[in-house]
Structure 1
Amino acid sequence: MDTMRERFITVTSHLLDEDPRLALVLAEISMDGFRPAQRAHPERVINVGIREQLLVGVGGGLALTGLRPVMHTFASFLVERPFEQVKLDFGHQGTGGVLVSASASYDWPAGGFTHMSPGDVALLDTLDGWTIHVPGHPDEAEALLRHAYADGDEKVYVRLSQLSNGAPRPVDGAGFLTVREGSDGVVLAVGPTLDDVLAATEGMDVTVLYATTVRPFDSAALRAAVGTGPADVVLVEPYLAGTSTAAANDALADLPHRVLGLGVGRAELRRYGTVEEHTAAHGLDPRSLRERITAFRQSGARR
């Protein structure tokens, strides 16, 4: 199976042939995969080198000319380093474009903390009007990329990862999916966390929701899953823990509820390790998730 990043290269290359409005801006990352597209469309496939602020600035300029710019590099260099350009060149200027990241929270541990971005979604959450997609499988990545490219002049972030669930789910770029139904709590799994969440909650009487579009937050789906309350809700996100806790609390503001936000911890792990070791260290492997979810549910039962 190809990776999400490989699928991004394939899909975007094909769409550059089909859509004369689409433009791609790179900062060296993935350039080798896009060389055929650059030869075919030199005016719409631009490599600015390792200049990430310029990457976003050029994308913003292309948007002002009426093109649909796609900007791509590692998440830490796409959202965190050029955040001022993202804020001003798209938000302040009132333009639209698509940010497509790679490497996510800790997908390349050998790159160290400079190449990790667990806070990217939380950072974009400080800005208005961004749609955020977090696919959990290459097929979902393709569907969400196509949706993002065709999404008029909207501001969209597509967060790609090396991690993947075993099978794709039908995604529409909008609401949450119900994967398993239960009557004693809700667990919301985001993107590539779904398989581990399903393994962790096996045998539990909980509803499992699946989110690949996290902004806008699907408050209606969460409320429907919770019912009339009281309810325990666990959020399992592949980025900074607690990123969506406020959104979940707002969705359930008039109902008795508790929310536990699980995700990547704030403490920097100062060993390279493997992706699997980082997942376990952040308590996001199936065994750790089961222990944490069980403890949360039991603490509620003692109230």
Structure 2
Amino acid sequence: MDTMRERFASVTSRLLDEDPRLAVVLADIGVDGFAAAARRHPDRVVNVGIREQLLIGVGGGLALTGLRPIVHTFASFLVERPFEQVKLDFGHQGVGGVLVSAGASYDWPSGGFTHMAPGDVALLDTLDDWTVHVPGHPDEAEALLRHAAAAGDDRVYVRLSVQTNGAPRAVDGAHFLRLREGRGGVVVAVGPLLDNVLAATEGMDVTVLYATTVRPFDGEALRAATGAATADVVIVEPYLAGTSTRSANDALADRPHRVLGLGVGRRELRRYGQLDEHLAAHGLDPRGLRERIAGFLTAPARA
């Protein structure tokens, strides 16, 4: 099976053939995947070199001409390093585009903390009108990329990862999917953490929702899953823990509820290790998730 990033390159190359409005902007990262597309469309595949602020600036400039730019590099270089340009060159100028990241929170541990971006979605949350997709499988990545490319002039962030679930789900770029029914609480699994959540909650009386589009947050799906009574909700995200708890609290503001946000911790892990070791260290492996989910759902609510 190809990776999400490989699927991104192949699908986007085909989209360039199909839609003359699309353009791709790169900063050396991922250039090989677009070599053939660059030969076919030298005016719409642009490599600015290792200049991430320019990467975003060129994307915003292309959008001003009427093109729909698809901008790609590692998440830490796409959202964190050029954040001022994301804020101004897209948001302040009122133009749209598609930011597609790789690397996720710690996909390449040996790259060190410079190549890790667990705070990317939380950082984008400080800006207005960004749609955020977090696919959990290459097929979902393709569906969400096609959705983003055709999304008019919207501002979209697509967060790719080497982590993947075993099977794709039919995602629509908007709504959460209800995969299990239960009465003891609701667990929202985001993107590539779904399989770990399903394994962790096996045999537990909980509803499991699957989220691949986290902004806008599907509050209606959460409300429908919790019902009208007191709600216990756990959100399991592959980035900074607690990133979506405010959205869940807002969705349930008119009813008694508790929300636990699980995800990547704030403490920097300074040993490279392997990806699965980072998952375990942050409690995002099935064993760690089961312990924390069960502990939260069985703990009495405080008065």
TM-score, length basis structure 2: 0.99
Mapped partners of 1:295, 1:184: distance in 2: 12
TM-score, normalised to structure 1's length? 0.99
Q: How does 1:1-303 map to 2 (within 5 A)?
A: 1-300=1-300
Amino acid in the other structure paired with 1:294 = A
Aligned-residue Cα RMSD (Å) equals 0.8
- Displacement of 1:201 after TM fit? 0.3
Q: When the two structures are aligned, how many residues end up with a matched partner?
A: 303
CA–CA distance in 2 between the matches of 1:224 and 1:117? 32
The whole-number CA distance in structure 2 between the counterparts of 1:229 and 1:84 is 43
Secondary structure of 2:299's aligned partner: helix
**Following the alignment from structure 2 to structure 1, what is the Cα–Cα distance between the partners of residues 231 and 88?**
40
Secondary structure, in 3 states, of the residue corresponding to 1:6? Answer: helix
Partner amino acid for 1:45? V
Residue type of the partner of 1:87? K
Give SS of 1:61's match: helix
Q: Distance in 2 between matches of 1:19 and 1:141?
A: 19
Gaps of at least 5 residues in structure 1 are none
Percent identity for Structure 1 against Structure 2: 80
Local SS of the residue matching 2:300? helix
Structure 2 distance, partners of 1:174, 1:107, is 25
Once residues 295 and 153 of structure 1 are traced to their aligned partners in structure 2, the CA distance between those partners, rounded to angstroms, is 44
TM superposition shift of 1:220 = 0.2
Letter in 2 for 1:217: F
Gaps of 5+ in 2: none
> Which one-letter code corresponds to 1:72 in the other structure?
H
